[in-house]
Homo-oligomer: A and B are copies of this chain.
Amino acid sequence: MGLAVSLATAPPAPGREEDALTALAELVRDDLAACNRVIVANMQSQVDLIPQLAAHLVAAGGKRLRPILTLACARLCGYPEPGSPGQRHVALAACVEFIHTATLLHDDVVDESRLRRGLATANAIFGNKASVLVGDFLFSRSFQLMTADGSLPVLKILSEAAATIAEGEVLQLVTQNDLSTKDERYLDVIQGKTAALFAAACQIGAVVAGRKAAEEAALSDFGLYLGTAFQLVDDALDYAADQAKLGKTVGDDFREGKITGPVLAAYKAGNEADRSFWRRTIEDSEQTDADLDHALILMERTGAIEATLARAKGFAEKAKAALLIFPDGPVRRKLTDVADYTVRRVR
């Protein structure tokens, strides 16, 4: 007890950063519980395999980061007004999570991943076919829920985001194994596959509250920058994290020959021997068991991880700055903390 109190007033200490998301979730606790109920209710189907597979991913795990953002941004914008029964943000947060879940299911098929959040992937358990089709189902359900909400501006934002995600994923596929990929293309990939949905999730918080365009744009920017920072860190973690802590396999990106920030940075900063190593392992996909360890050494030596994290920090700062058009208060502060947390979740 005494320890908890002293920590609460102390400057951020290792481990405390993780509390930022928990604190934000706590702030929207009732809404998040309602959102979870909407999610569970809408993944039902007479075809048993659908809720079985969906439950594995939707109900079991996940930080619910994206729906929490929708709920918190709605709250930041004063929705619902005190005493009002408005629950639109809850249903739309579920839509966002369904789109995210559908893309996860398809990603894991595309990446042939076997492990996510420390658990076997849906495709590893239920097979690729079921994962593709249940992803399609959740995606469709998401649009059914949006249609029931009835806001064309929301439908526009989320259907555009969904198309952008798919474009980002295809672009990632196209740049795979290609060390000549321009850095801007890599940014296009992560803004497409990850940040676009963060942006949409935040923006619709302002839309349900009926806020003006500048506030919509500010929240969209916040989400875009936050999502970019998030993915940069994720890409760094793939070469740096403790596998048990991260709940995913370190070196997945390396084995797949994925072109990420750390690889581009290490390649650019490397000497001729380094570059030859990267060409063999990433471009030619010729890897031995010892290569991942050597890749990690090169990452350290060239400062590629640090550079990627510094870049993520820059985006987190931009995310925080975008919030400044809103008055100070507990929601803005906790959203700001989440931006800090995003770039501190490593080391």
Contact = CB atoms under 8 A, between A and B. Distances in A.
Contacts of A155: 143, 146-147, 155
Interface in A144-173: 144, 146-148, 150, 152, 155-156, 159-160, 162-163, 165-167, 169-171, 173
A58 to B, nearest CB: 15
A111 to B, nearest CB: 8
A16 interface: no
A144 B156 contact: yes
B159 A143 contact: yes
A257 B10 CA distance: 64
Contacts of A165: 136, 140
A170 to B, nearest CB: 5
Contact of A163 (B144, B152, B160, B171): B144
A109 interface: yes
B133 A169 contact: yes
Interface stretch (A41-49, A217-225, A303-311): A41-49
The secondary structure that dominates the A interface is helix
A47 B129 CA distance: 26
A106 interface: yes
A272 B282 CA distance: 57
Nearest to A143: B159
B159 A50 contact: no
Given A137-B170, A146-B159, 9 more contacts: A45-B170, A103-B136, A106-B136, A129-B173, A133-B166, A140-B159, A143-B143, A147-B155, A147-B159
Interface of A: 45-50, 102-103, 106, 109-110, 128-130, 132-134, 136-137, 139-141, 143-144, 146-148, 150, 152, 155-156, 159-160, 162-163, 165-167, 169-171, 173-174
